[in-house]
Structure 1
Amino acid sequence: MTQATTTPRVPSTEQVPVRVVDSDVHPVPRAGQILEYLPEPYRSKIVSHKVGNTIFYDAPDYAHAFAMRVDAFPEDGGFPGSDPELAFRQLIMGAGSDIGILEPSAKAERLPEWSQAQCIAHNRWLANHWLDSRNNWHQRWRGSICVAVEDPDGALREIENWAGHPYMAQILIKAEPRPAWGDPRYDPIWAAAVKHGLPVSCHLSRGYAETLPTPPVGLPSYNHDFMVSYSLLAANQIMSLIFDGVFDRFPELRIVLVEHAFTWILPLMWRMDAMYEARRPWMEITRKPSEYVKEHIRFTTQPLDYPEDKTELVRAFEWMECEKILLFSSDYPHWTFDDPRWLVKHLPAHAREAIMFRNGIQTYHLPESVPALPGQARAW
């Protein structure tokens, strides 16, 4: 069991350079914690709007470890990601990440106002249980402002409420709601993000059947085909952002796609550029689509897909100019966790600094140094 700390800890006055920015860390509320932060009238109602069932989740060892690192379960019986102190010891001190971007999984409901209420509760919980002076004394955690993009007015209120928080580093949305992100109804969200200098991040999510992204041939049955087909949703959102002119309306907007994979972006850029050359007189965008991708969109490294011949991965990195579009991510505490000490070895030497920390510092407007932690592992 994690020992309670009786003496407040304070950050060191010594600074060390940031060498690893982890763009995907998953905090999880302890049982019952979210309820106390859920706004009324939703807290009093506590009704479920779920219909149908979720896909069959076939992750390795799910029956035993729920697709989590087996060493990430707190000794008091909590779920992995529910103990900030354990996460700090394993990810920051042990693996060598210097700053972790926290991305709670606020549950998506069928009704936009219910989804927004879940986001409100998660934002309050995150501020009080991870970003407070007791749990973020080391200044290594950065949070996400969760909003339900399908409720633009409510999302805007939530962004304005949290944008001034010193440790909120991004806006977090989901990709499933329709219409696509290029629709002008979302413009207030993009405008608020630009106003406050916050990137908009979208993490892969899975919900109940009617909330899942629907491929052309219907819903997937298993997690493995869902994980592959989910990239199609990201591809469509990218095309909507570009071809519907979002980046022309908001030149400072930055979008981060978390856990959507990324090797598929190379052929998509080729295809979009070919269409642009063929249809340029009929398009309102002003640059090649690949230029918008490299300036406005970032992808996280996990999952890192590669063929048996890893030299092909190196060539793909070079062709897509990976140093411009990739952010390191570990996916802690999931079973798919990528240790930064392992990941950095797979990157081209010329791109390592950009991917492991420089792009993260720029994207999230982070400091270049943080208070020193004696005994912290250095990833590279």
Structure 2
Amino acid sequence: MTDTKEEALRVIDCDVHNQFHSGDDLFPYLDQTWKSQAALRGGGLPYITPIGNKRKDANPPSGLPVGSDPDYMLKHLVEPYGMDYALLCSDSIIGVSAFADADYAAAVCRAYNDYLIAEWLPKSPKFKGFMCIATQDPQQAVREIDRIGPHPDIVGVSVIGGSRAPYGQRMFHPIYEACERHGLPLVIHPGAEGSGIFNPPTAVGYVSNYLEWHTCLPQTYMAHLVSLVCEGVFEKYPGFKVVLSEGGVGWLPPLLWRLDKNFKALRMSVPWLKRLPSEYVRDHIYLTTQPIEEPDDPKHLMSIFEMFDAENMLLFSSDYPHWDFDDPFKILTRLPIDKKRKIFSENARKLFKLP
């Protein structure tokens, strides 16, 4: 049982994975041109967890696949933890940006966004959604943000961590302009690094198994973060925010120390930057708590939190219904209640403009 303070804690879960019933779920929302291709294409993720990706206790009594029954998700996740909101980020199409066919990828994203709005968001006011875009063709991505972004229950724009180039590069800037125009944060989520047209999942190439892949995910986030800062994205779009989801947090302080130090000597490389790189990160970057690093000595994690503005930059996430789900009543128990309130709800409420 939790104590009174824990029970009073408001919770906004910033990473909840809704799934399809089957591969046919998007068919009613796909243009006729793409239905035959969708029926033939498979997933193709390069690294699969050997213990299964889903919690066994998350199987709905309806017999539907894990994560695909919104009514059961409300009963199994949202209600028991008293969540104010569950922010939906589907991993059913997590690797769509790895396809070589940019038009097909854009069509799948359009279909998913219509499916999300029609079949999930109306189920409860506690469900809010991240729309999905494909990164192969930024102009099509912008049109999709303009089409779906105004919907009141869409609170963010989701992309995959895998990419052919770091996200700070100018080809992606129209996406960020559109996100800023609609007041929508960009949410970068892992899942298909190393597949399709993406670069290898680590700086030295392809690893051999899921353990290595999963452990090395912070490399992706480091590269995107440094690129976004050094290419001047946050100077160009001062209202633009980015969420680094499921990438850990312990790597951030030493990366910022190194980046600030090098900037002081090499600032002529980035003359558009007017502040220290770490200051842009503090004002524009958020990270989710899951999977939080868990040292044997909990005091070490608290020390890491003291090294950056953790109480204002972290967003609680459970990663439901995945195997590494984090119970909001069992993590960060040593944090003072005022800091927990920020991390578990207040930061997300402000960032995603949630009532």
**In the alignment, structure 1 residue 264 sits paired with structure 2 residue 256:** no
Partner of 1:203: 189
Partner of 2:119: 129
**In the alignment, structure 1 residue 38 sits paired with structure 2 residue 30:** yes
Deviation for aligned residue 1:270: 0.6
In 2, the alpha carbon distance for the partners of 1:155 and 1:192 equals 9
TM-score calculated relative to the size of structure 1: 0.85
Partner of 2:169: 183
In 1, the alpha carbon distance for the partners of 2:255 and 2:227 equals 13
CA deviations 1:290-329 (Å, max 9, x no partner) are 1111110100000011211111110111111201210000
CA RMSD of aligned residues (A): 2.0
Match runs of 1:93-112 below 5 Å = 93-105=79-91, 106=93, 107-108=95-96, 109-112=99-102
AA aligned to 2:70 is P
* 1:235 aligned to which of 194, 202, 222: 222
On the 8 A contact 1:202/1:258 being kept in 2, the answer is yes
In 2, the alpha carbon distance for the partners of 1:165 and 1:46 equals 26
TM-score calculated relative to the size of structure 2: 0.91
Match runs of 1:1-380 below 5 Å = 19-31=10-22, 32-46=24-38, 48=40, 54-58=46-50, 60=51, 62=52, 67-105=53-91, 106=93, 107-108=95-96, 109-132=99-122, 135-136=123-124, 139-206=125-192, 209-211=195-197, 213-214=199-200, 215-284=202-271, 285-367=273-355
Which SS does the other structure have where 2:329 is aligned? helix
Change (3 A) 1:18 1:35: farther
Larger relative contact order (C-alpha < 8 A, sep ≥ 6)? 1
Deviation for aligned residue 1:211: 4.4
| Structure 1 consecutive aligned stretches of length 4 or more whose deviation exceeds 4 Å | 47-53
AA aligned to 1:22 is D
Partner of 2:3: none
AA aligned to 1:24 is D
Deviation for aligned residue 1:177: 2.2
Deviation for aligned residue 1:159: 0.7
On the 8 A contact 1:112/1:148 being kept in 2, the answer is yes
Which SS does the other structure have where 2:330 is aligned? helix
In 2, the alpha carbon distance for the partners of 1:176 and 1:40 equals 28
AA aligned to 1:261 is G
Deviation for aligned residue 1:52: 7.2
Deviation for aligned residue 1:110: 2.8
Structure 1: gaps of 5 or more residues: 1-16, 368-380
On the 8 A contact 1:213/1:230 being kept in 2, the answer is no
AA aligned to 1:335 is W
Partner of 1:374: none
